[in-house]
A = this chain, B = another copy of it.
Amino acid sequence: MIIQLEPNIKQDLRDRIITKINGLKYKTTEVATQKGEYIVGIGKKDFDIRDIGHMPGISDVHIVSDDYKLVSKKWKVKPTVIDLGDGVVIEEGGMAIMAGPCSIEGEEQIEKTIQHLLDNNVKIMRGGVYKPRSSPYSFRGLGIDGLKVWYDAARKAGIKIITEVMQVSQIEEMHDYIDIFQVGARNTQNFNLLDELGKVHKPVLIKRGISGTIDELLSSAEYVFSAGNENLMLCERGIRTYEKASRNTMDINAITILKEKSHLPVIADPSHGIGIRDHVEPVALACIMAGADGVIYETHEKPEEAYSDGQQTLNFRESEKLINKMRKVFELREEM
Residues of A within 8 A of B (CB): 27, 29, 40, 42, 67-68, 132-137, 166-169, 186-187, 189-195, 209-211, 213-216, 219-220, 222-223, 226-227, 238-246, 249-257, 260, 273-274, 276, 278-279, 282-283, 285-291, 325, 328-329, 332, 336
B242/A211 in contact, CB under 8 A: yes
B213/A135 in contact, CB under 8 A: no
What is the distance, in angstroms, from A196's C-beta to the closest C-beta of chain B? Answer: 9
A227 contacts across to B, CB distance below 8 A:
136
B134/A189 in contact, CB under 8 A: yes
Give A184 to B137 CA distance when docked, in angstroms: 23
B239/A256 in contact, CB under 8 A: no
Give A233 to B239 CA distance when docked, in angstroms: 27
A190/B191 in contact, CB under 8 A: no
What is the distance, in angstroms, from A139's C-beta to the closest C-beta of chain B? Answer: 10
Residue of B nearest to A137 (CB): B42
B279/A285 in contact, CB under 8 A: no
B253/A246 in contact, CB under 8 A: yes
Residue of B nearest to A325 (CB): B336
A133 contacts across to B, CB distance below 8 A:
191
What is the distance, in angstroms, from A227's C-beta to the closest C-beta of chain B? Answer: 7
Give A260 to B278 CA distance when docked, in angstroms: 10
Q: A243-B251, A249-B253, A250-B253 are in contact. Are A191 and B166 (CB under 8 A)?
A: yes
